[in-house]
């Protein structure tokens, strides 16, 4: 294909039935890439991860034929989180590269990337939508005992070695409940597929597939401070970042609806942000793909709303939203920008903040003046990501 296909990221914990969902999607016309199988392929003797895995675990994991004994390796990593992390560090980079190569060579307009570690590896950030399959714990254990011949204890160890299903479901655009009723599961899958087909048939997708490039006008993007100053951080490339307008409110609400597991925002809430905070929107091909809201108190910029969808755009869009906020905060002599991240924020997003110079902090470890600024914002228990914008503090509150 000339253009990148629409990519569905499909994940779920062990024995939840994600492979069953993948098979259903293949029957509906999707091209499925099994990332877990790709991971096995890159560990073959001629694969790019073979040497790294042996270096991490030693030759005792090899069979007489020189191949990696997956059962022996599994018995090690599923009982030792540190060992599992070493395995992922050795295998994930090669797996990600091969999956991306296969996406680029796909022949179907919709590709499903199926992976048990889709979120943990950060692979979901390259997907247009994230689908998660869940199942009752008792059913997971029964399936592992039946299909893999594991004891109940062995099945429990493997299940407990993975993140809670609830954490993955919290990040999903769509959640499938696989309680053993295949007809019910198929109904859920077909409904989701139908919705994707409707979206792909929209005028916007048709323009993209025809090869139209976003923002062909080459217009310059302006970001004005709260004082109405000159632009401070022009956007680059194909994403426009600007101050939100009243006419953007429906699109802002629609953006939050795309992330079904995220707290929804109605028009009244969006209007409150518009009139009481600095509110930015990021626009890609005439569609709002990102929103950020912040306000300044006592020379501290507090960003308490930041949302990007689809997740694969986070690195590009999130960084531009933050850069615009930081530029405006610096123009107003702010000492820091503090972002309030929800507790369910994905690890790859946290990692992106670290790359942008942000550091996690506990409230009690911050300067008392900063604590006083933040306390009114803390309706929940967010993670505080802090970036110093200048070293010297003005010790007298304004």
User: Which one is the CATH code of 239-388: 3.40.630.30, 1.10.260.40, 3.90.180.10, 3.30.450.20?
Assistant: 3.40.630.30
* Residue 261: both structure tokens together: 């597991």
Q: Say whether pLDDT at 189 is over 80.
A: yes
| Average pLDDT over all residues of the chain | 85
Burial 371-388 (b: 16+ CB within 10 A, else e): eebbeebeeeebbbbbbe
- State how far the alpha carbon of 232 is from the alpha carbons of 106, 127, 220, 325, 331, in Å: 41, 31, 12, 9, 8
Report helix, strand or coil for 282. strand
- Residue 205 confidence (pLDDT): 43
- Tell me, what's the pLDDT at 286? 85
Q: Where are the domains of the chain?
A: 6-207, 239-388
Other CB atoms within 10 Å distance of the CB of residue 319 = 16
Token pair for 89? 């560090």
Q: What is the pLDDT of residues 143-167, one digit of tens each?
A: 999 988 999 999 999 999 888 998 8
Position of tokens 């903040």? 353
pLDDT-derived band at 394 (thresholds 50, 70, 90) equals low
Please list the alpha-helical segments (H only) found in the chain: 18-28, 35-42, 50-57, 70-77, 81-104, 137-148, 152-160, 165-171, 182-200, 203-209, 249-258, 267-276, 319-331, 347-355, 368-374
Both tokens of residue 198?
A: 């409707």
> In this model, does residue 235 exceed pLDDT 50?
no
Q: Helix 249-258 vs helix 267-276: angle between axes, to the nearest 10 degrees? A: 120
CA distances to 51, 358, 390 from 336, in Å: 44, 10, 7
Planar angle of CA 230, 236, 238, nearest 5 degrees: 125
Per-residue model confidence as pLDDT tens digits over 59-72: 999 999 999 999 89
The set of residues, in sequence order, having a beta carbon less than 8 Å from that of 229 and lying 6+ positions away, is 331
105-127 b/e with 16+ CB inside 10 Å = b? Answer: ebeebbbbbbbbbbbbbbbbbbb
Fold (topology level) of 6-207 = Rossmann fold (3.40.50)
Task: Give me the pLDDT at residue 263, please.
Answer: 73
232 falls in which pLDDT band (50, 70, 90)?
A: very low
The total number of residues written for the chain in this structure: 398
pLDDT value of position 176: 96
Backbone angles phi, psi at 11, to 5 degrees: -145, 175
Half-sphere exposure of residue 258, counting CA atoms within 13 Å on the CB side?
Answer: 21
Q: CA-CA distance, 393 to 395, in Å (whole number)?
A: 6
Per-residue pLDDT, 185:
95
Counting residues of the chain whose pLDDT is more than 90, the rounded percentage is 51
DSSP character for 50? H
Averaged pLDDT for residues 207-235: 36
Least Cα distance to 36 among 4, 14, 52, 57 occurs for: 14
- Report the pLDDT value the prediction gives residue 262, as an integer from 0 to 100: 66
- Of 156-170, 196-210, 297-311, minimum mean pLDDT range: 196-210
95 Cβ partners below 8 Å, 6+ apart?
35, 38, 39, 42, 49, 121
The b/e string for 49-69 (b: 16+ C-beta within 10 A; e otherwise) is bbebbbebbeeebbeeeeebe
């Amino acid at each position: 294909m000339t253009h990148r296909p629409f990519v569905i990221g499909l994940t779920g914990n062990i024995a939840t039935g994600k492979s069953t969902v993948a098979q259903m999607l293949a029957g509906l016309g999707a091209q499925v890439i099994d990332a877990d199988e790709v991971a096995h392929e890159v560990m073959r003797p001629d694969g790019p991860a073979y040497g790294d895995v042996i270096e991490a675990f030693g030759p005792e994991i090899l069979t007489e034929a020189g191949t990696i004994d997956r059962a022996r390796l599994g018995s090690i990593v599923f009982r030792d989180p540190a060992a599992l992390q070493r395995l992922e560090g050795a295998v994930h980079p090669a797996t990600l590269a091969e999956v991306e190569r296969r996406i680029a060579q796909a022949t179907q307009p919709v590709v499903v990337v199926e992976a048990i570690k889709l979120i943990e590896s950060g692979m979901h950030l390259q997907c247009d939508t994230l689908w998660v399959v869940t199942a009752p714990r008792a059913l997971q254990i029964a399936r592992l005992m039946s299909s893999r011949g594991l004891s109940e204890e062995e099945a429990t160890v493997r299940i407990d070695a993975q993140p809670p299903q609830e954490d993955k479901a919290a990040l999903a655009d769509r959640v499938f409940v696989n309680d053993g009723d295949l007809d019910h599961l198929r109904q859920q899958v077909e409904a989701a597929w139908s919705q994707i087909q409707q979206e792909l048939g929209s005028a916007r997708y048709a323009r993209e597939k025809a090869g139209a490039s976003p923002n062909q006008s080459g217009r310059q993007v302006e970001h004005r401070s709260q004082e109405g100053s000159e632009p401070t951080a022009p956007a680059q490339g194909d994403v426009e970042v600007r101050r939100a307008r009243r006419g953007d409110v429906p699109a802002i609400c629609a953006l939050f609806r795309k992330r079904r597991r995220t707290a929804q925002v109605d028009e009244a809430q969006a209007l409150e942000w518009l009139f009481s905070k600095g509110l930015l929107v990021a626009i890609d091909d005439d569609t709002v793909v990102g929103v950020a809201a912040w306000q300044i108190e006592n020379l501290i910029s507090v960003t308490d709303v930041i949302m990007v969808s689809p997740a694969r755009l986070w690195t590009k869009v999130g960084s531009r939203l933050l850069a615009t906020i930081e530029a405006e905060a610096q123009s107003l002599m702010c000492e820091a920008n503090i972002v309030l991240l929800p507790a369910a924020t994905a690890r790859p997003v946290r990692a992106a903040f670290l790359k942008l110079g942000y550091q996690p902090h506990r409230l009690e470890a911050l300067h008392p003046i900063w604590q006083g600024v933040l306390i009114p914002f803390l309706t929940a228990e967010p993670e505080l990501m802090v970036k110093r914008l200048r070293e010297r503090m003005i010790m007298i509150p304004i």
